[in-house]
Structure 1
Amino acid sequence: MNKVFTLTITVSSKDIDSLLHVNNLVYVKWMDKIATNHWSFLTKEHPLPQYIWVVMRHEIDYLKQAILGDEITVKTWVGETRGITSERFMEFYKKNVLLVKAKTIWAMLDAKTYKPARIREDVLKVLSPK
């Protein structure tokens, strides 16, 4: 497994739905937030503005609920990367209890043309640090 990146989120009232738990769509927003933060962290010393990422697919398993005030630890890491796609895995925990696990397939695009861009060595070095 590649290096794990972690983010902590406290559940606020805007995250809660009519069932009094975190709404499913909120997890998708959090997935985008941690993926973006992780990419920024990985490229902070060597930015790669010529590329952008778009989601092709989400697979999400909702296992347990989170409620108002819960502190959620989100862990993410990069999986297989080849062609134009890269897997990203995420796990959401309350203390040591796994609440949600997800896998997202991202596609890399050229930032100017928005056309798919083959993932080259410069990006692989960032996504797969040794």
Structure 2
Amino acid sequence: MYQTVLEPRVSETDGVGHINNTVLPVWFEAARNPLFSLFTPDHDFTKWKMVIVKTTLEFISQIYFGEDVEIRTWVSKIGNSSLELYEELHQHGKLCARNTAVYVNYDLSAQKSEPIPKKIREELHKHLIEDKAKVQR
């Protein structure tokens, strides 16, 4: 599992006093930086590999300014050229949101997917979750 702690900003708070729902996809993406580094270590966008093809976000509880949030990211599936991530956002030890995201390892110059390299696949397996229900709290 990858863990990322973020500090909510006052500008992310909406008129009813909680973190706006448009912020969470950005936070989840920020927590994926270690994965982006696996696929494109130099972060050169001309060689970028991870292309998102699907995301599903579920809001469970309100999130507030003034208290850090923790995002936990697991790999839930590894295909030939794609991977699925399972992510949770916690504040005050409480599950506030969960998300799944599907990425494809993509060659931008050839405009096609390509197999995930063995070395990256081995690293992804270290973060593989077998049963999402076991971690959901």
User: TM exceeds 0.5?
Assistant: yes
Counterpart amino acid of 2:6?
Answer: I
Give 1:87's aligned residue. Answer: 84
Extract unaligned runs of 5+ from structure 2: 128-137
Displacement of 1:113? 3.0
Deviations 1:61-88 (A, max 9, x none): 1000111112101111111111221011
TM-score by length of 1: 0.82
- Moved runs in structure 1, 4+ residues, more than 4 A? 48-51
Displacement of 1:17? 1.8
Contact (CA 8 Å) 1:5, 1:38: kept in 2 or not? no
Tell me the secondary structure at the aligned position of residue 34 of structure 2.
Answer: helix
Q: How large is the RMSD of aligned CA atoms in angstroms? A: 2.4
Displacement of 1:111? 4.5
For 1:60-71, list aligned pairs within 5 A. Answer: 60-71=57-68
Identity of aligned residues (%): 17
1:72 aligns with 2:72: no
How far, CA to CA, are the matches of 1:113 and 1:16 in structure 2? Answer: 41
Q: Return the match for 2:13 from 6, 12, 16.
A: 16
Tell me the secondary structure at the aligned position of residue 24 of structure 1.
Answer: coil
How far, CA to CA, are the matches of 1:37 and 1:122 in structure 2? Answer: 15
TM-score by length of 2: 0.78
Q: Return the match for 2:95 from 83, 94, 98.
A: 98
Contact (CA 8 Å) 1:57, 1:104: kept in 2 or not? yes
Tell me the secondary structure at the aligned position of residue 32 of structure 2.
Answer: helix
How far, CA to CA, are the matches of 2:94 and 2:111 in structure 1? Answer: 39
Displacement of 1:108? 1.1
Contact (CA 8 Å) 1:15, 1:23: kept in 2 or not? yes
Deviations 1:38-71 (A, max 9, x none): 443xx39x94875511111111110001111121
Deviates more, 1:114-123 or 1:53-62: 114-123
How far, CA to CA, are the matches of 1:33 and 1:98 in structure 2? Answer: 18
How far, CA to CA, are the matches of 1:36 and 1:111 in structure 2? Answer: 19
| Number of aligned positions between the proteins | 124
